[in-house]
Amino acid sequence: MNIGFIGTGNMGTILIESFINSNAVKQEQLFITNRTLEKAYSIQQRYPNVHVIQTNEEIAKHATIIFICTKPLHMPAVLKQLRPHLTDDHCIVSITSPVSVQQLESLVPCHVIRVIPSITNRALAGSSLITVSERCADAYRTTVEQLFRSISRPIYIDEPITRIASDLTSCGPAFFSYLIQKFIDAAVQQTSITKEQATMLATEMMIGLGALLEQQLYTLPTLQEKVCVKGGITGAGIDVLEKEVGDLFVHIFQKTHEKFDEEKEKVRQQIDYIRD
């Protein structure tokens, strides 16, 4: 089965690389295009058997499963462009959260699935969030799930928790990368440790923490219990966190949901404009 990609930006490229490197697909099964074709050709330079296609419409001629990896506001126009070339044999896979599967179904006459990936999928790790449309055939659901199982842990979600689930899995790496960088910067600022040393130690700590959780040796609460001796140094640091973190993540989620609602409204307007 041939697979198409419309959009080879950051996440489109990550998915292409991950599917190839995990052996989920062969290079020659992939047909890719991008508004700036140079980006697609740069992928072909690393994977010579990947096909670079000139237009979105041609992707529909070559591929059965088509990943749409564009920005949310560009998606309605792309789907309108594709619609005359789509048949019952096609399956559209959207990777953007502000466009619901119901909206996707209203724009195309074929099978529809939404999958929200994470940058962690590049390491063949982390999770991917799947929402399947009502008219999607089981065969496509199984195929797409198997694709993502090769690079992640697929988790099925319902529409109402799309934003928070994406915050935790897809935005989470950026949030915690920022916090770890601040952790490192503070160590360098307060002591004589070099940035290189602090970065190495913090990175190895994160890798080890992930291994403990992956192997289910500890849960997050028991990790704190094991490291934090009452009245000890770690406990003193935890006291500061309890006082200063406060509602930090509540405010983060409030802001991401606010932005999500704005994007959903803009997408709705784009869809209404296309229908008119």
Rounded to the nearest 5°, which phi and psi values hold at 72? Answer: -55, -40
Task: Tell me if 121 is assigned to a ligand binding site.
Answer: no
- DSSP codes, the chain: --EEEE--SHHHHHHHHHHHHTTSS-GGGEEEE-SSHHHHHHHHHHSTTSEE-S-HHHHHHH-SEEEE-S-GGGHHHHHHHHGGG--TT-EEEE--TTS-HHHHHHH-SSEEEEEE--GGGGGT-SEEEEEE-TT--HHHHHHHHHHHHTTSEEEE--GGGHHHHHIIIIIHHHHHHHHHHHHHHHHHHHSS--HHHHHHHHHHHHHHHHHHHHTTS--HHHHHHHH--TTSHHHHHHHHHHHHTTTHHHHHHHHHHHHHHHHHHHHHHHHHHHH-
**How far apart, in whole angstroms, are the C-alpha atoms of residue 274 and residue 2?**
29
Task: Tell me if 9 is assigned to a ligand binding site.
Answer: yes
**How far apart, in whole angstroms, are the C-alpha atoms of residue 81 and residue 67?**
14
Task: Tell me if 6 is assigned to a ligand binding site.
Answer: yes
Q: Which residue from 34, 36, 45, 37 is spatially nearest to 12, judged by alpha carbons?
A: 34
**How far apart, in whole angstroms, are the C-alpha atoms of residue 11 and residue 267?**
20
Known binding site: residues?
6-11, 56
Known binding site for NADP(+): residues?
6-11
Known binding site for NADPH: residues?
56
